[in-house]
A and B are shown apart, each in its own frame.
Chain A
Amino acid sequence: MPKPLVLIAELTHRCPLHCVYCSNPREMVRRDGELPTEAWTRVVQEAAALGVLQTDLTGGEPLARTDLMEIVGAARGAGLYVSLITSGAPLDERRLEGLAGAGLDHLQLSFQGAREENAAQFANASAGTWEQKLRVARWVKQIRIGLTLNFVIHRENVDQLPEMIALGEEIAPGRIEFAHVQYYGWAFANRARLLPTREQLDRSLEILKSAEERLRGRTRVEYIVPDYYAKYPKACMEGWGRKAMIVAPGGDALPCHAAPAIPGLAFDNVREHSLREIWEDSAAFRRFRGEEWMPEPCRSCDRRAADFGGCRCQAYLLAGDAALTDPVCSRSPQRPLVDAIVSATNAPRAGMPPAMPDWVYRPNPS
Chain B
Amino acid sequence: MTPEMEARPRLAPGCRLNEAKQQPRVLLMPERALRLNGPSLEIVERCDGTRTVRQIITEMQKLYAKAEPQKVEQDILGYLALLHEERALDFE
User: Is A289 an interface position by the 8 A CB rule?
Assistant: no
- In angstroms, Cα B28 to Cα A146, docked, is 11
Q: Which of A49-64 contact B (CB under 8 A)?
A: 53-54
- In angstroms, Cα B12 to Cα A147, docked, is 10
Q: Which of B30, B33, B85 contacts A217 (CB 8 A)?
A: B85
- In angstroms, Cα B7 to Cα A337, docked, is 56
Q: Which of A105, A148, A217 contacts B28 (CB 8 A)?
A: A105
- Do the beta carbons of A105 and B16 come within 8 Å of each other? yes
- In angstroms, Cα B15 to Cα A105, docked, is 8
User: Is A81 an interface position by the 8 A CB rule?
Assistant: yes
- Do the beta carbons of B14 and A54 come within 8 Å of each other? no
User: Is A96 an interface position by the 8 A CB rule?
Assistant: no
Q: Which of A93-142 contact B (CB under 8 A)?
A: 105-106, 108, 141
- Do the beta carbons of B33 and A141 come within 8 Å of each other? no
- In angstroms, Cα B29 to Cα A148, docked, is 11
Q: Which of A214-256 contact B (CB under 8 A)?
A: 216-220, 222
- Do the beta carbons of B87 and A81 come within 8 Å of each other? no
- In angstroms, Cα B15 to Cα A106, docked, is 9
Residue of B nearest to A218 (CB): B87
**Chain B interface main SS type:** loop
User: Is B80 an interface position by the 8 A CB rule?
Assistant: no
- Do the beta carbons of B14 and A147 come within 8 Å of each other? yes
Binds A, one of B18-26, B37-45, B57-65, B67-75: B18-26
Minimum CB–CB distance for B18 against chain A, Å: 7
User: Is B84 an interface position by the 8 A CB rule?
Assistant: yes
Residue of B nearest to A177 (CB): B31
- Do the beta carbons of A174 and B12 come within 8 Å of each other? yes
Minimum CB–CB distance for A187 against chain B, Å: 21
Given contacts A53-B26, A216-B85, A217-B84, whether A106 and B33 have CB atoms under 8 Å apart is no
For A363, list chain B residues within 8 Å (CB): none
User: Is B78 an interface position by the 8 A CB rule?
Assistant: no
- Do the beta carbons of A146 and B18 come within 8 Å of each other? no
Given contacts A146-B13, A147-B14, A217-B1, whether A83 and B87 have CB atoms under 8 Å apart is no
Minimum CB–CB distance for B87 against chain A, Å: 5
Minimum CB–CB distance for B19 against chain A, Å: 6
User: Is B86 an interface position by the 8 A CB rule?
Assistant: yes
- Do the beta carbons of B87 and A220 come within 8 Å of each other? yes
Q: Which of A79, A146, A218, A219 contacts B14 (CB 8 A)?
A: A146
Given contacts A53-B33, A81-B28, whether A220 and B86 have CB atoms under 8 Å apart is yes
Given contacts A105-B28, A217-B84, whether A79 and B13 have CB atoms under 8 Å apart is no
For B16, list chain A residues within 8 Å (CB): 81, 105
Minimum CB–CB distance for B8 against chain A, Å: 16
Minimum CB–CB distance for B71 against chain A, Å: 25
- Do the beta carbons of B84 and A79 come within 8 Å of each other? no
For B14, list chain A residues within 8 Å (CB): 105-106, 145-147, 174-175
- In angstroms, Cα B82 to Cα A220, docked, is 13
- Do the beta carbons of A79 and B22 come within 8 Å of each other? yes
- In angstroms, Cα B22 to Cα A222, docked, is 29
Residue of B nearest to A56 (CB): B31
- In angstroms, Cα B84 to Cα A220, docked, is 10
For B19, list chain A residues within 8 Å (CB): 79
For B22, list chain A residues within 8 Å (CB): 79
- Do the beta carbons of A53 and B28 come within 8 Å of each other? yes
Give A residues with C-beta under 8 Å from B. Answer: 5, 53-54, 79, 81, 83, 105-106, 108, 141, 144-148, 174-175, 216-220, 222
Task: Given A83-B30, A175-B87, A217-B85, output 4 extra A-B contacts at Cβ < 8 Å.
Answer: A81-B33, A83-B31, A106-B29, A174-B87
10 tightest A-B CB contacts, nearest first: A146-B14, A81-B28, A106-B14, A220-B87, A144-B13, A106-B30, A174-B87, A146-B30, A53-B33, A146-B13
Give B residues with C-beta under 8 Å from A. Answer: 1, 12-16, 18-19, 22, 26, 28-31, 33, 84-87
10 residue pairs bridging A and B, Cβ less than 8 Å apart: A5-B33, A54-B31, A106-B29, A106-B30, A147-B13, A175-B30, A175-B31, A217-B1, A219-B87, A222-B31
